[in-house]
Amino acid sequence: RRHGLNEQASSAGATRILVIDDSNTIRRSAEIFLKQGGHVVALAEDGFDALAKLSDFRPDLVFCDILMPRLDGYQTCAIIKRNPQFSGVPVIMLSSKDGLFDKARGRMVGSQDYLTKPFTKDQLLQAVLVHRRSSDIEANP
């Protein structure tokens, strides 16, 4: 019984995070920041790549770029949210412009938050902290 508690405690800190961005630089910097924060990270270069990885990786949180080829961030977020298996997973949109329209449109497709690029390590880890906590509360009221 005690072993199970320790296991839970150690995995509680490691959030499984999927980062979707067509920029290799953004993907890599997010990966470095998040791994330094003790999280488990998977990377996808566009919406199709992300959707292919979703079921196997089963993320606790998703960072999703808005402007991507083939399937943009809004479409990707909407597809993730329509899947009952992942509808409760917080999605945070990433954008290089800080626009009200983008934020509103992101909310319409179900995103929880919005982060402007370039982001700092602190901003990224703070977003994980806030949204991981809120999804934990929703899952275990």
> Is 4 domain-assigned?
no
> Is 80 domain-assigned?
yes
Domain CATH code at residue 22: 3.40.50.2300
Confidence of residue 139 (pLDDT cuts 50, 70, 90): low
> Is 27 domain-assigned?
yes
Which long-range contacts does 68-71 make (Cβ < 8 Å, 24+ apart)? Answer: 68/20, 68/21, 68/22, 69/22, 70/46, 71/46, 71/47
> Is 128 domain-assigned?
yes
> Is 8 domain-assigned?
no
- Say what the pLDDT of residue 132 is: 83
> Is 5 domain-assigned?
no
Range of the domain at 106: 13-136
- Say what the pLDDT of residue 126 is: 96
Confidence of residue 89 (pLDDT cuts 50, 70, 90): very high
> Is 95 domain-assigned?
yes
> Is 2 domain-assigned?
no
Confidence of residue 135 (pLDDT cuts 50, 70, 90): low
Please state the domain count of the chain.
1
**Rounded to an integer, what distance in angstroms lies between the CA atom of residue 32 and that of residue 85?**
28
What mean pLDDT value characterizes the chain? 87
